[in-house]
Amino acid sequence: MSKTLDENGIEYLHGRAVEVYEGKIIGAFEMETEDAVSLTDGDAVTFILTVRTGIPKFSNIRKSGQLKCQNQFAVEAVKVVDPDKAKFMYDQLDEFVPGISNPVTVKKIEDTLGFNPESLEV
């Protein structure tokens, strides 16, 4: 299916602009035993996920009347990321994820103040 995009990169379907996008991961995936047994209710878990795109589904949002595109993704491969590595990764990306990363990263402080705060002696 080819997409119709205007000069501003806005997608159209039957002359209507798509205003809302969402993704939906479909299908189950196997987990390593050591990863699965370590999980408890409410844990924040980071995955590296490889998916294959499927046919998007378009629908109207009743309340707003907006056109929504839901992209379907089928799981190809999954790897659980060690919590320390996940924290490091999100900190490097300067992304805050509750329960995983810090809201203010060392890199951000270093960029703002000009020095690494971890180098200070207490």
Measured in residues, the chain has a length of 122
Average pLDDT per 10 consecutive residues for the chain, totaling 122 residues: 80 91 93 91 90 94 95 94 90 82 66 62 52
Distances in Å between the alpha carbon of 36 and those of 22, 27, 31, 41, 71? 27, 17, 6, 12, 28
Query: Which pTM was predicted?
Result: 0.65
Among positive and negative, which fits the CA dihedral 56, 10, 96, 61?
negative
User: Residue 78: what residue type?
Assistant: V
Token pair in block for residue 31: 């987990």
Q: What are phi and psi of 105, to 5 degrees?
A: -90, 160
